Structure 1
Amino acid sequence: MINLNIKKELHGSNGKMNLDINLSLENQEFVALSGISGSGKTTILRILAGLEEASGKIVVDNQIWLDEKISMPIQKRNIGFVFQDYALFPNLNIFDNLLYVKKDKELAKYLLNVTDLYELKNRHPDSLSGGQKQRVSLCRALMKKPKILLMDEPLSALDPNMRNKLQNEILTLHKEFKTTTIMISHDPSEIYKLASRVLVLSNGKITNDGTPKEILLKTQGSQKFSFEGELLDIIKVDVIYIAIVAIGQQIVEIVISNNEAKNLIVGQKVNVSTKAFTPIIKAI
C-alpha cells in the first residue's frame, strides 16, 4: 500500500499553483496519470522518487519515506524511473548500463532477451534507435526489481508500431515483477490497454479517479462509440457537407446535415458518436 498526502507550491505558465494530493494506491496496481500539461503529473513522480522536496507524508508498506522529520534518500527508495530522455550512460554499452544498477548478469540477460535486445548488448546508446534506447531504459529501471516503477510518458516519441510493441513488453514485465506502476500518458488507447486505474489531474488536484472504462468511455444510452476530437474543416460536396475531424492521430470524415454545418465552427472541440448506426457530431 502506498499512501501519499503531499503539498507543494508550483510555478507554472499561469502563475502559482498548489499541488495538493491525498490518495492511496494498492500494491501491484497499474496507475495512469492523465491531465493537461502543467497539472502536476511529473512533479508527483519526482516527489515520490525523492528527486523533489514537498511537505506532507509518504508511507510505502508501513515504511515512512517522507514526513516532517524524515526524507528518505533517493538511493534507499525501492523505485525504478523511466525518463522521457532515456538517461543512459553514453560511455557504457547496453549490458554495462544495466549492470551499473545491480551486478546481476542473469537478470540483465533475462531482461534483454524479453525486450529483444540481447544481440545488441555490446553496443553503445548512441548507436541505437529511440525505441531501442527506451527498452534499455526500461530494463535498467527493472534491474533492482523495484517496488514501484515510475514512467514519465515513456513512449511519446515512438512510432505507433514501436509504441504497441513496448506497451506489450511493459505490461508483461509489470505483471512478472509484481511492481506498482505509475505512468504518465496522454494517449487514451495506451491508458486503456495498460492501466487498471486512471487519475486525472487539473491544477495540482485529482479531479477524477476510476477505471479506464469509467474515465475514458463516454458513451450514453444506445451509443456504440464516442470520441473527442478537433474539427479541422467543413467541406461541401454537391448537396452534402462533410466534417473533417482529427481524433488522436487519425483524420476522419463525417457526413453532417446542413444545420450542423451552420452551427459547427472550425477549430472547436467536438464529440463524435453514433446512434442507430448514424454518426453524430456535437460541439463540446
Structure 2
Amino acid sequence: MIYIDVEKKLFSSSGEIDLKVNVKIKKGEFIAIKGSSGSGKTTLLRIIAGLEKSKGEIIVFDKVWQNEKIFLPPQKREVGFVFQDYALFPNMSVLDNLLYVNKDKKFALKLLEMVDLISLKDRYPQMLSGGQKQRVALIRAIIKKPKILLLDEPFSALDPIMREKLQNDLILIHKEFKLTTIMVSHMPSEIYKLANRVVTIEKGEILNISSAINSLLGCKGSEKFSIEGKIIDIIKADILNIAIIDIGNKLVEVVISEYEKEQLKIGDIVSISTKAFNLNISKKG
C-alpha cells in the first residue's frame, strides 16, 4: 500500500491555494489525476518524487519516504518520472541514455524490443521523432525498476495515432512489470483507457476519487450524456444564436437561446448535456 498525506502552499494564476492530498494507492494500480490547470497536479507528482518538499508523510510499501523527521532524496525513492519534454541526454545514443540509468544492457535491449526501438538504439535524440523520444523517455524511467511510475501528461504533444501507440505500450509495460503508476492527464479517452481509478483535484483539494467510468461518464438525473468544452465564439445566423465550442480539439456549433446568449461569453467553460431529448448548455463554476 502507498499512503500519501501531504500539504503544500501553492501560488497559481488564480492566487494562493493550499494543496492538501490524502490518498491510499494499492500496489499495481494505475491512478489518473485530473483537474484544471494550476490545481496542483504536477506539484503532487514532484512531491512524491522528492523534487519538492511539503508537510506530511509518504509511506511506500511500509518504507517511509517522508515524514517530520525523514526526507528521502529523489535518487533514493525508487521512482520513475516521465516528463512532457523527454529530458534525454542529447550527446548520448538511445542505448546509452538507458545505460546511464542502469548498466544492465540485456534489460535495456529487452525494453527497446518492447517499444519497437531496437533498430534505433545507436541513434541520438535529435535524430528521433517526438513519439520515438517519448518511448525512450518511458523505458528510461522503467529501466530503474521503480516502485512507482510517475507520468506528467507524457503524450499530450503527440498526434492521435502516436498517442494511441504509446498508450498501448504503456499498458503492456504497466502489466509486464507490475508497476504502480500515477499519471496526470487532461484527456478523458486516455484516462478511460489506462486508469483503474481517477483522482480529481481542484484548487489543491481532492474533489472525488472514483473509477474511471464513474468519473468520466457520470451524469446527473436523467441526463443521457454530459461533455465539457470552451466557447470560442458566439455568432448570429439568421434568427439563431450559435455558440462555437471547442470540445476535445474539435469545434461544434450549438444553438443557444437569447437568455443563454446573455449569460454566456467567449472563453467560458461550459457543460453540454441532454435531458428529455433537449440539448442544454450551462456555464461551469
Give the TM-score normalised by the residue count of structure 1: 0.90
Shift of residue 97 of structure 1?
0.8
Q: For residues 74 and 263 of structure 1, do their structure 2 counterparts lie closer, same or farther at Cα, with a shift above 3 Å needed?
A: closer
Shift of residue 254 of structure 1?
3.2
Shift of residue 265 of structure 1?
4.2
* 2-structure distance, mates of 1:61, 1:229: 40
* 1-structure distance, mates of 2:137, 2:276: 47
Correspondence list, 1:148-227, <5 A: 148-227=148-227
Structure 2 gaps of 5+ residues are none
Mean CA deviation greater in 177-186 or 267-276: 267-276
Residue identity in the other structure for 2:61: D
* 1-structure distance, mates of 2:205, 2:263: 34
Aligned twin of 2:42? 42
Residue identity in the other structure for 2:272: V
Aligned twin of 2:73? 73
Mean CA deviation greater in 32-41 or 84-93: 32-41
In angstroms, what is the RMSD of aligned CA positions? 2.2
SS of 1:39's partner is coil
Give the TM-score normalised by the residue count of structure 2: 0.90
Correspondence list, 1:233-252, <5 A: 233-238=233-238, 240-252=240-252
Structure 1 gaps of 5+ residues are none
Residue identity in the other structure for 2:223: Q
Aligned twin of 1:102? 102
Shift of residue 6 of structure 1?
1.7
Mean CA deviation greater in 165-174 or 212-221: 212-221
Q: For residues 242 and 13 of structure 1, do their structure 2 counterparts lie closer, same or farther at Cα, with a shift above 3 Å needed?
A: closer
Shift of residue 61 of structure 1?
0.9
Correspondence list, 1:45-64, <5 A: 45-64=45-64
Shift of residue 257 of structure 1?
5.5
Q: For residues 274 and 9 of structure 1, do their structure 2 counterparts lie closer, same or farther at Cα, with a shift above 3 Å needed?
A: closer
Mean CA deviation greater in 5-14 or 35-44: 5-14
Q: For residues 218 and 265 of structure 1, do their structure 2 counterparts lie closer, same or farther at Cα, with a shift above 3 Å needed?
A: farther
Shift of residue 55 of structure 1?
2.3
Q: For residues 37 and 243 of structure 1, do their structure 2 counterparts lie closer, same or farther at Cα, with a shift above 3 Å needed?
A: closer
Q: Deviations over 1:134-162 (max 9, x none)?
A: 11000100002211000111112111221
* 1-structure distance, mates of 2:220, 2:207: 21
Matched pairs, number: 284
SS of 2:111's partner is helix
